[in-house]
Amino acid sequence: MRLLVTGGAGFIGANFVHSAVRAHPEYAVTVLDALTYAGSRESLAPVEDQIRLVQGDVTDAGLVSRLVADSDAVVHFAAETHVDNALADPEPFLRTNVIGTFTVLEAVRRHGVRLHHVSTDEVYGELALDNPARFTESTPYNPSSPYSATKAAADMLVRAWVRSYGVRATISNCSNNYGPYQHVEKFIPRQITNVLTGRRPKLYGSGANIRDWIHVDDHNDAVWRILESGQPGRTYLIGADGERDNLTVLRTLLKMMGHDPDDFDRVPDRAGHDLRYAIDPSSLYDELGWAPKHTDFDEGLRATIEWYRNNESWWGPLKDAVEARYEQRGQ
Ligand code: NAD
Ligand code: TDX
């Protein structure tokens, strides 16, 4: 199997590549990654001798076509992913998320290659805090942010290429991931590394917003299952019954790190901040027999704190610039 992984130097992609090398040492894995601020060669250092890393842009049609022609399957992670960055400057999100996905689709269409497109639950918009409903495959798309609108556009392109051109593609929409190698701009690593660098954690608004947390290894495990056994044309929702409000996550994390649970700052809320995301993953459970393994969120959080404690050389060089950007935005 020759596998092309776009965005494989980012958080989820790098963990996916590690798992590919562990589980399938016989696969030939190529990573295509632009190594933007969010991508890092170091994230692939543990497997650098077992893979090929091509530094390049997913919107480069010639390059993508050549790499796809040499592959049996493509897993497409590459994207601009941070909602706050999208609010500040949406243009790169349009380019990478929409044109990048179009470029991948044209290449897999030309060369008849299987595609798995990695998307997010944010395409469905927000759920009410007081309504137990969860997202399913038939929930209408209703994106709120420039980020989620571009991911929704990309998903629509994939669906259209399946229907119009018979492209063999699956889509997964996953909830919020946590785990090692996540950029320090994101909620959980930002707060852990704030504590580790003597800064106070920052909570947007009231902290009542709910996210449905899943360990990155569980997400990637589900992506493997879909790649191997999913039905082309189908969308699968990936989640691990991990709903928690932001205030609870932050207080848990502070306690685990030996701090007073109220030792944080409240900062201005994110514009258009979605209240709640929640995934009903039952069709993945029922049809593909998948189930998450990291079901104890506190244990996963403790291990993630340990990872950031032990890997300051990975995140340390990024931290000051990220916090300077947040400070400019008053957050
Ligand atoms: P990330 O920001 O950590 O990594 C993105 C990677 O894509 C980086 O390595 C970056 O260099 C690369 N990239 C960006 N623009 C590129 C371009 N033009 N050409 C080539 N490479 C480019 O993101 P992540 O959190 O690992 O997310 C990966 C995918 O999973 C994304 O598609 C995202 O929408 C989706 N997703 C993420 C989450 C989450 O909680 N993080 C949840 C559900 C879905
Ligand atoms: O400092 C912070 N304080 C805070 O309260 C940050 C960075 C975030 N937050 C809040 C905003 C969200 O309610 O925490 C929650 C999680 O924030 P993010 O880590 O920015 O994630 P989110 O916006 O939920 O999106 C994430 O999950 C879905 C990923 O970044 C997306 O790429 C993915 O599609």
* pLDDT of the residue at 54: 98
Ligand 1 mean position, distance from CA 154 (Å): 13
Give me the mean pLDDT over the 318-328 stretch: 97
Ligand 1 atom 35: residue of nearest CA: 119
Over the stretch 91-125, which tens digit does the pLDDT of each residue have?
999 999 999 999 999 999 999 999 999 999 999 99
Ligand 2 mean position, distance from CA 269 (Å): 12
Over the stretch 186-205, which tens digit does the pLDDT of each residue have?
999 999 999 999 999 999 99
* Cβ pair 30, 67 in contact under 8 A: yes
SS3 172: strand
Out of 57, 80, 106, 122, pick the active-site residue.
122
Give the E-state strand segments of the chain in sequence order: 2-6, 28-33, 51-55, 73-76, 114-120, 169-174, 177-178, 202-204, 210-212, 214-215, 235-238, 243-245, 265-267
Ligand 1 atom 14: residue of nearest CA: 79
* Cβ pair 243, 214 in contact under 8 A: no
Give me the mean pLDDT over the 266-295 stretch: 97
**What Rg, from alpha-carbon coordinates, does the chain have?**
19
* pLDDT of the residue at 329: 93
Determine the residue of 15, 77, 279, 304 to mutate for testing ligand 1's pocket, defined as the one with the most ligand atoms within 8 A of the Cβ atom: 77
Contacts of 310 (CB under 8 A, 6+ apart): none
SS3 215: strand
Examine the residue annotation and report whether 130 is marked as an active-site residue of this protein.
no
Ligand 2 atom 2: residue of nearest CA: 187
Q: How many CB atoms neighbour CB 296 within 10 A? A: 11
Ligand 2 mean position, distance from CA 65 (Å): 33
Give me the mean pLDDT over the 209-227 stretch: 98
* Cβ pair 237, 172 in contact under 8 A: yes
* pLDDT of the residue at 302: 98
Over the stretch 18-64, which tens digit does the pLDDT of each residue have?
999 999 999 999 999 999 999 999 999 999 999 999 999 999 999 99
Give me the mean pLDDT over the 53-81 stretch: 99
Using a 10 angstrom Cβ sphere, with 0-12 exposed, 13-18 middle and 19 or more buried, the burial of residue 60 is middle
Ligand in nearest proximity to the CA of 100: 1
Residue 242: which pLDDT band, with cuts at 50, 70 and 90? Answer: very high
* Cβ pair 107, 68 in contact under 8 A: yes
Encode burial over 21-32: b for 16+ CB neighbours within 10 A, e otherwise. beeeeeeebbbb
* pLDDT of the residue at 209: 98
Residue 267: which pLDDT band, with cuts at 50, 70 and 90? Answer: very high
* pLDDT of the residue at 155: 99
* pLDDT of the residue at 87: 97
User: How far is CA 87 from each of CA 136, 145, 146, 203, rounded to the nearest angstrom?
Assistant: 27, 7, 7, 18
Positive/negative CA dihedral, 227, 81, 137, 217: positive
* pLDDT of the residue at 101: 99
* pLDDT of the residue at 210: 98
Output the six-digit token pair for 147.
């980020």
Q: Please, what CATH class does the domain formed by 2-178+215-238 belong to?
A: alpha beta
* pLDDT of the residue at 277: 98
Residue 211: which pLDDT band, with cuts at 50, 70 and 90? Answer: very high
Is the minimum distance from the CB of 96 to ligand 1 under 6 angstroms? yes
Whole-model pTM: value is 0.99
Ligand 2 mean position, distance from CA 174 (Å): 14
